């Protein structure tokens, strides 16, 4: 048995992690832990959901960066960059609870698809205004506020739909990691 600085224990070729749990300490085989962590990806519906979520998240981050860059190009003002943060943050605080209520009362799948389509339409409107040269800072603020509001409203539905993607209940051990 050999320890390294990160708390890992080596038994020959196998790596075992020292993890805090309800028991004082327990050793968990790294290979078993990785299999449990990616076990959800074994379900087709979850893989599709995860791929769509990653694509939407990447698109949102690219658009956020482009919006900030465009605001700075139009205004040369760091203040406007900070106001863009407020334009994203305030709707999130204001509408997240309402999103939870909506998620409990509607078909979550259809709701997520409609909201994602609306967010995509907002992006297309902003792209059209930018390409035609009609873009103003106010347009970017409005699209940011509307997009953040829609995201805040649909985020609880997106989170709540995950258990519905599995046909069986995954057993998650009580290791204290999650």
Q: Are 119 and 92 contained in the same domain?
A: yes
Q: Are 71 and 122 contained in the same domain?
A: yes
Tell me the residue range of the domain where 12 lies. 2-37
Residue 51 lies in a domain: yes
Q: Are 16 and 94 contained in the same domain?
A: no
Q: Are 80 and 13 contained in the same domain?
A: no
Q: What pLDDT is recorded for position 23? A: 47
Q: Are 20 and 104 contained in the same domain?
A: no
| 3-state DSSP assignment of residue 20 | coil
CA–CA separation, 37 and 32 (whole Å): 9
Q: Are 31 and 50 contained in the same domain?
A: no
Q: What pLDDT is recorded for position 21? A: 46
Q: Chunked in runs of 10, what are the mean pLDDT values of the chain (178 residues)?
A: 48 46 50 68 84 92 95 95 95 92 92 94 96 96 96 93 69 49
Q: Are 140 and 78 contained in the same domain?
A: yes
Q: Are 19 and 107 contained in the same domain?
A: no
Question: How many domains does the chain contain in total?
Answer: 2
Give 104's Cβ-side CA count (13 Å radius).
5
Residue 74 lies in a domain: yes
Nearest C-alpha neighbor of 91 from the set 49, 129, 54, 122: 122
pTM for the full predicted model: 0.72
Q: Are 97 and 15 contained in the same domain?
A: no
CA–CA separation, 63 and 169 (whole Å): 36
Q: What pLDDT is recorded for position 30? A: 59
């Amino acid at each position: 048995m050999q320890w390294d600085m990160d708390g890992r224990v080596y038994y020959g070729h196998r790596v075992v992690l020292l993890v805090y749990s309800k028991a004082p300490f327990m050793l968990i085989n790294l290979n078993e832990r990785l299999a449990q962590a990616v076990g959800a990806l074994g379900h087709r519906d979850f893989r599709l959901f995860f791929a769509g979520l990653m694509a939407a998240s990447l698109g949102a981050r690219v658009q956020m960066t482009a919006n900030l860059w465009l605001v700075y190009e139009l205004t040369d003002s760091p203040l406007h960059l900070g106001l863009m943060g407020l334009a994203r943050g305030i709707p999130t605080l204001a509408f997240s609870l309402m999103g939870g209520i909506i998620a409990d009362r509607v078909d979550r799948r259809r709701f997520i698809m409609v909201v994602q389509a609306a967010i995509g339409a907002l992006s297309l409107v902003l792209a059209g205004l930018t390409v035609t040269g009609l873009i103003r800072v106010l347009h970017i603020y409005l699209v940011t506020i509307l997009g953040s509001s829609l995201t805040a409203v649909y985020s609880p539905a997106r989170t709540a739909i995950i258990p519905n993607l599995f046909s069986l209940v995954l057993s998650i051990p009580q290791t204290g990691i999650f």
